[in-house]
Amino acid sequence: MSLAQRLRYWLAGSVPRPQAPSLSPLLETRDLQVRVGQGEAGRVLVRDLSLSVRPGEFWCVLGPNGVGKTQLLNTLAGARPPAAGEVRIAGVALADWSLAELACLRGYAPQTVHDAFATPVLDVVLQGRHPHLSRWHWEGVTDDALAHVALERVGLAHLAQRDVCTLSGGERARVALATLLTQDPPLALLDEPLAHLDLAQQARMLILLATECRVRRRALLMSVHDLSLAQRVATHALLLHPDGLTLAGPVAAVMTEEALSTAFGHPLRHHSADGRVWWLPA
């Protein structure tokens, strides 16, 4: 199948996939509390977080090392229970979705992936189609086409038959993104997806993700350390403070020198150049 044919499949929407429901929130939290550790040794990472994420919104999750970004994303994905409060996906409590239904609605790209077995890259990317297949069905030509298109979009079509265990860190991170694109959930949670990428790949992958948001009305929540990149693509930001308090809203309201400097415990300044905002430590 040619690239043009694959793209036609994908763009024409002839492949059944879940549609993002209008503008109702895809993700909501109410008075969410995230905690690690037990008893006296425990620590509240996030307290009383109430949030609504809608189709077309690109949220960047910001905060210093160890503040709780990963644990929060794990909680939003349903991989760990909240200490208090609730998470709702597409209006329904997380626990009320079956795992298969949930996998059609939200995707999660964790910070690191451990590959236990030698597997062709294409098979890893095809795993994104599993939630869409009924129990007794193998992946078909359409699933193959979607996986190839996703690999082309992250610039790794030439590695389709390579053993995933042999990839570099940056290549593996892009395969994780391709798997998420193949899964194609209306809501995607990404934990530092740019961490292993060089500057050019960071820019390419960010443009790709921003296009998913803007053109295809996907909702994204992504943790990221590079404030300048966050400012470039995000529509909204969620800033975590070490004391568990959070600041959430449109980028302009959250990404201020005062709020970021307080959260990171160090003066941070923004500068304008080339029509963009760049963040630097003072």
Give the footprint of ligand ATP on this chain (CB under 6 A): 36-37, 45, 63, 65-71
Give the nearest distance from C-beta 38 to ligand ATP in angstroms: 8
Tokens found for residue 159 = 């590695």
Pseudo-torsion of CA 121, 122, 128, 133, nearest 10°?
A: -140
Give the nearest distance from C-beta 253 to ligand ATP in angstroms: 21
Which distant-in-sequence residues (6+ apart) come within 8 Å of 59 by Cβ? 53, 219, 220, 221, 222, 234, 235, 236, 237, 238
Nearest residue (CB) to ligand ATP, 107 versus 244: 244
Nearest residue (CB) to ligand ATP, 240 versus 251: 240
Q: Are 21 and 88 in contact (CB under 8 A)?
A: no
Nearest residue (CB) to ligand ATP, 182 versus 231: 231
Which distant-in-sequence residues (6+ apart) come within 8 Å of 162 by Cβ? 120, 121
Give the nearest distance from C-beta 39 to ligand ATP in angstroms: 11
Give the nearest distance from C-beta 278 to ligand ATP in angstroms: 20
Nearest residue (CB) to ligand ATP, 7 versus 259: 259
| Residue 108: φ, ψ to 5° | -140, 120
Nearest residue (CB) to ligand ATP, 37 versus 140: 37
- To 10 degrees, what angle do helices 3-12 and 141-153 make? 100
Q: In the chain, what are the helix, strand and coil shares in percent, each to the nearest 5?
A: 40, 25, 35
Give the nearest distance from C-beta 41 to ligand ATP in angstroms: 7
3-state secondary structure of 166: helix
Nearest residue (CB) to ligand ATP, 70 versus 235: 70
Nearest residue (CB) to ligand ATP, 27 versus 240: 240
Tokens found for residue 169 = 């860190």
Which distant-in-sequence residues (6+ apart) come within 8 Å of 261 by Cβ? 267, 268
Give the nearest distance from C-beta 199 to ligand ATP in angstroms: 19
Q: Tell me how far apart the alpha carbons of residues 107 and 190 are, in angstroms, rounded to a whole number.
A: 8
Q: Tell me how far apart the alpha carbons of residues 44 and 190 are, in angstroms, rounded to a whole number.
A: 22
Tokens found for residue 182 = 């193949």
Give the nearest distance from C-beta 124 to ligand ATP in angstroms: 24
